[in-house]
Structure 1
Amino acid sequence: MATPTFNNFDSEKKRVLEDKEDASRKGSIDAPVIELVKYINKQEDYYTTSSCSGRIIVFSENTQTGKEGTLWLLTSHETVSIDNVLSILKDRDIPISCYTYYKFEPFVLHVSCRTLEHAQAILRIAVSSGFKNSGISVSKKNKMILSVRSTQTLQSPVAFDGKLIVTEQYLCHLVKISNEKLEDNFQRIERFYKLVREVCIPTEPPPPIKPNCLNNSHSLLKVQEKKKERVDDDTSNHDYLESIDQLFH
């Protein structure tokens, strides 16, 4: 059986990378993943289509209009303080009938791949790096998009009509947990970037990535040690990888 291949890969990659307009609300690549995105885009068989390094957000959403009435109160790609969050919740004028949510969103990356084999190679890396919710989608034209993502999302309503509906102690726990998740998120990105460099053929010596904006140093596993270790201690993860192989071979 022939391997699925996206025939217009090269022309589509050129078009996407030459498009200077960033469609995200922020309008630019997040600083913690700039080197990772640049490195992938330099590879012959891959290019990125969207990314987010992970963030902590506070937003209000109208119960009737939904996302159309969303008011963004805080967006941070670094850890936040309880004082900052409380100040935002208490000092901003929130429209009536709006719930305010505190949310942590983990790293997400979408990569277009030339063939299914190329997508599978990065999928294995993503899963072994801790992004166990990753997967591959294939369009009718055989366009293969690898989604790198995890299950670390955290969300909780914290206010309604501009008034807190939780205690400050509860908010403190939310801030603490989300900050810990963000630090762990950056460590996973670091592992992922290291393993990607081992699989992809570099066009030039890749620069080290420093995704942790908190200036915490995280040691990377040696290549030799990584090869000797199991991909994951979780047997369900092992079964997942086997099922992927059976599905596409």
Structure 2
Amino acid sequence: MHVAPQPSTCNTAEWRGLRRRLLESLREASTRNELDQDIMDVLEALNSIPCIATSSSCSGRIAVFSAPTPGDKRHGGIVRKWHKPIGPQELEEAVREAMNANHSYLWAAAQPPILALHTCSIAMAELLASIAVRAGYKYTGYRYTSRSYYMFIFGTERIDIPIMFRGRFVATRNYSLLAELLNSYLALGKRKLDRLRRAIASMLDVLRTGCEEATLS
């Protein structure tokens, strides 16, 4: 992604305020047990760099969605979600729950890890993007805001399985097979997250040096 060069915001009150709020939000979410435990070490490593602050992130999940009509987000949404492998009984129970709500459209998905973060320097944004791409996250980019460079790192290990269409089953009702398929994609995403974890750990000194340089600019 091409971004027009912008000055560093590392020495501004806006950046310090944004970072403080993001870190406080992370601490509150951790206190409420709302964070995926298998991504916490990645977030902590990134947040140890003063030029970086993480935002909404997920280590990957399996979810069942339903809606009364296609695209109806107001009355539809997530029925159940898991951040771990699931069993066929869990999947079947989620399908039955959606059917009891009289929703005619139902699907299951395994979704990859997603990291969102801010940095105050374009040099840091480019370095982080290169680390993520080398770890296999080709859907990586950033955009400039008045306070920071907002970054997103998406995995590609995703599958969406339609289960019901217009109230009729369109996928197999073999929940063991469906759970196995969803779990296999979740595992792929978790393995790639491990690659990113190792890549970030190996580059922490480089990131710290880059942050020091950005603060001096």
Length-normalised TM-score, structure 2: 0.79
Using the alignment, how far apart are the partners of 2:67 and 2:159 within structure 1? 17
Pairs within 5 Å for 1:58-97: 58-63=64-69, 66-90=72-96, 93-97=99-103
Identity %: 20
- CA 159–119 in structure 1, closer or farther in 2 if over 3 Å, else same: same
Alignment match of 1:113 (pick from 104, 107, 119): 119
How many equivalent residue pairs?
197
Is the CA contact (8 Å cut-off) linking 1:89 and 1:162 kept in structure 2? no
Alignment match of 2:62 (pick from 47, 53, 56): 56
- CA 3–118 in structure 1, closer or farther in 2 if over 3 Å, else same: same
Counterpart in the other structure of 1:230: none
Cα shift readout 1:13-70 (whole Å, capped 9, x = no counterpart): 1122124554xxx972111111111221121111101101100001211216711112
Using the alignment, how far apart are the partners of 1:90 and 1:2 within structure 2? 52
Counterpart in the other structure of 1:223: none
Counterpart in the other structure of 2:187: 183
More helix by share: 2
Give the C-alpha shift of residue 108 in structure 1. 0.2
Is the CA contact (8 Å cut-off) linking 2:66 and 2:103 kept in structure 1? no
Give the C-alpha shift of residue 94 in structure 1. 3.1
- Superposition RMSD on alpha carbons, in Å? 2.6
Using the alignment, how far apart are the partners of 2:35 and 2:69 within structure 1? 31
Query: Which runs of no fewer than 5 residues in structure 1 stay unpaired?
Result: 203-249
Is the CA contact (8 Å cut-off) linking 1:9 and 1:114 kept in structure 2? yes
Cα shift readout 1:98-151 (whole Å, capped 9, x = no counterpart): 311111111000111120111111111111111111111112x16201111122
Report the secondary structure of 2:136's partner residue: coil
Is the CA contact (8 Å cut-off) linking 2:140 and 2:151 kept in structure 1? yes
- CA 157–174 in structure 1, closer or farther in 2 if over 3 Å, else same: same
Using the alignment, how far apart are the partners of 1:91 and 1:44 within structure 2? 45
Counterpart in the other structure of 1:38: 44
Using the alignment, how far apart are the partners of 2:16 and 2:76 within structure 1? 38
- CA 162–113 in structure 1, closer or farther in 2 if over 3 Å, else same: same
Using the alignment, how far apart are the partners of 1:178 and 1:97 within structure 2? 22
Give the C-alpha shift of residue 88 in structure 1. 2.8
Counterpart in the other structure of 1:146: 151
Report the secondary structure of 1:201's partner residue: helix
Using the alignment, how far apart are the partners of 2:115 and 2:76 within structure 1? 24
2:162 corresponds to which letter in structure 1?
P
Counterpart in the other structure of 1:98: 104
Counterpart in the other structure of 1:5: 8
Query: Which runs of no fewer than 5 residues in structure 2 stay unpaired?
Result: 207-217
Using the alignment, how far apart are the partners of 1:74 and 1:2 within structure 2? 43
2:179 corresponds to which letter in structure 1?
V
- CA 14–85 in structure 1, closer or farther in 2 if over 3 Å, else same: same
